[in-house]
Amino acid sequence: MSIRGKFTEHPASVDETYFEHMRFAAGMSAKLLKAAWCCAIHAVMPWRHCTTGSTAIKEMHAVVTAGARADAPTEAAA
């Protein structure tokens, strides 16, 4: 596979350009970091952020499994 293919094959499989995919992945990363931080706070103070982490996971799952992303092969299968 060419070097260009390494950067474009997967984004194309979910009907995105490289930069669209980068923006999406970076946004998901930010949401995961926020959820992780809330879960860490919840571990120490159980009355705080009781559902923040699970809500974030459910919302991200709905986005990732919608449309072209649901039809794309997983990394493990590729």
Predicted model pTM: 0.76
Smallest CA-to-CA distance from 56 within 30, 76, 78 is with 30
pLDDT band at residue 6 using 50, 70 and 90 as cut-offs: confident
Per-residue pLDDT at 72? 67
Helix 18-44 to helix 52-64 angle (10° resolution) is: 160
Q: What is the pLDDT of residues 53-63, one digit of tens each?
A: 999 999 999 99
Cα–Cα distance measured from residue 30 to residue 12, given in angstroms and rounded to the nearest whole number? 22
Q: pLDDT category, 1, cuts 50, 70, 90?
A: confident
Q: What is the mean pLDDT of the chain?
A: 88
Average of pLDDT values for 50-73? 85
Residue 41 has pLDDT above 90, yes or no: yes
| Boundaries of every domain in the chain | 3-70
